[in-house]
Amino acid sequence: MKRIGLLKVGRGLALRPRSWSQGLSSSGRLMLVCEPKVWRRQGRGVMSALRQAGFQAAFHLLPTGEGAKTWAAVSHLLSAMLKAGLGRDAGLVALGGGTVTDAAGFAAAIYMRGIPWVSMPTTLLGQVDGGIGGKTALDLPEGKNLAGAFHQPLAVVCDLDCLGSLPGRERVSGLAEALKCGLALDAGLWRFMRDHWVSLLLGEPAASRRVITRCAELKLAVVARDERETSGQREILNFGHTVGHALEAAAGLGPLRHGEAVILGMRAAVRLSRRHAGLDEASAAEIEDFLAGVQVPRLELREAKVLTALRRDKKARRGQRRFVLLRRVGWPVLKAVPEASVREAVRSILKELR
């Protein structure tokens, strides 16, 4: 199996570049890419650590949030790299949430036809999912992640110290993706998260480290088997995402964090798994109860809007929409599901959201 980059999870890693920068830049030149909030918290420190380690490092700030994932923002970044004198023998370090690693990773993929980069996610969502696996992307006016490239980072560096400043909702959003990994891929991870949920919400380091490491390993293993999403194996990582994406699209930018939508999407997927994939009643009830207890914002969404978003997604996949369902926890199956069952699952979730 193809080996995908170096994975490091631990405390204080961001400030120890010698442990993750091998092979990153033969010229010693680097661009550190960040956004203003992360720059103030971690960026300055990483910058001086890179300089102390002997790199000739410049930095560039992307806009915060999805604004980073635009042609305009990436174009500014590419020009800044030219201005800083970066050649093909230079490297890039992306320090920030999933938006920064997506946009900066994309810049690394296309700058001079590709230079090495290190992904250093600073949100929990980035550390368990977004910053891992080499999918880089921009948004188009027509939708999210519609342009991009596969470009594996040399290393993924998850510094647990970055997570201390993370707001509660961002933490829940990241934990949602970790729950997804557990439910779809590893029953042990699911049980651990269920039993240590409060510690995880509080960001307790030992529990967080265990979950982040396991999720990152699981994602890297799936990616190694299906790096470019050709064999369908990477689809498993979309557990909870079909309905989740539709809820996100229907809500518009703002009211729902991605992971919050995934929590709701997983609730729908568990109901469908009970009906169409043979998930036993006790497990379905246990997972449902747990997910129903995770805090997501109250929201009034129109059923028709969610169903339209689901239909659009199906059309984009040339009518081939298959749901990732659970035969058991850790045993995913891909299934086409009758329209009426999807509607029923969406309706029941929306009712409980109000």
Ligand X SMILES: NC(=O)c1ccc[n+]([C@@H]2O[C@H](COP(=O)([O-])OP(=O)(O)OC[C@H]3O[C@@H](n4cnc5c(N)ncnc54)[C@H](O)[C@@H]3O)[C@@H](O)[C@H]2O)c1
The single residue among 21, 25, 119, 123 that binds ligand X, judged by CB under 6 A, is: 123
**C-alpha–C-alpha distance, residues 5 and 152, integer Å:** 7
Q: How far is the CB of 261 from ligand X (least distance, A)?
A: 11
* CA-based torsion, 267, 273, 279, 282: positive or negative: positive
Locate all alpha helices (DSSP H) within the chain, ordered by sequence. Answer: 36-38, 44-52, 71-83, 98-110, 124-125, 168-185, 187-195, 197-201, 205-225, 241-251, 258-276, 281-292, 303-316, 339-353
Catalytic residue check, 219? yes
Number of residues that bind ligand X (CB under 6 A): 31
Check 60, 171, 219, 257 and give the catalytic one.
219
The single residue among 165, 199, 233, 341 that binds ligand X, judged by CB under 6 A, is: 165
Check 258, 267, 271, 274 and give the catalytic one.
258
- From 9, 24, 55, select the one nearest 118 (Cα to Cα): 24
Count of alpha carbons within 13 angstroms of residue 18, beta-carbon side = 3
CA 257, distance to chain mean position in Å, is: 12
Spatial contact of 110 and 149, defined as CB atoms under 8 Å apart = yes
Q: How far is the CB of 316 from ligand X (least distance, A)?
A: 16
Burial of 113: CB neighbours in 10 Å, binned 0-12, 13-18, 19+ = exposed
125 touching ligand X, by CB under 6 A = yes
Give whichever of 102 and 227 is closer to ligand X, judged by the CB atom: 102
Site string for ligand X, 69-108 (x = CB under 6 A): x--------------------------xxxxx-x------
What count of residues does the chain have? 354
Catalytic residue check, 196? no
244 touching ligand X, by CB under 6 A = no
* Type and span of the H or E element at 118: strand 117-121
Q: How far is the CB of 78 from ligand X (least distance, A)?
A: 19
**C-alpha–C-alpha distance, residues 249 and 139, integer Å:** 13
Check 151, 171, 227, 238 and give the catalytic one.
238
45 touching ligand X, by CB under 6 A = no
122 touching ligand X, by CB under 6 A = yes
233 touching ligand X, by CB under 6 A = no
Catalytic (active-site) positions: 113, 135, 177, 219, 229, 234, 238, 241, 245, 258
Query: Where on the chain is the footprint of ligand X (CB under 6 A)?
Result: 35, 37-38, 41, 64-66, 69, 96-100, 102, 122-123, 125-126, 129-130, 133, 135, 137, 144-145, 162, 165-166, 170, 173, 258
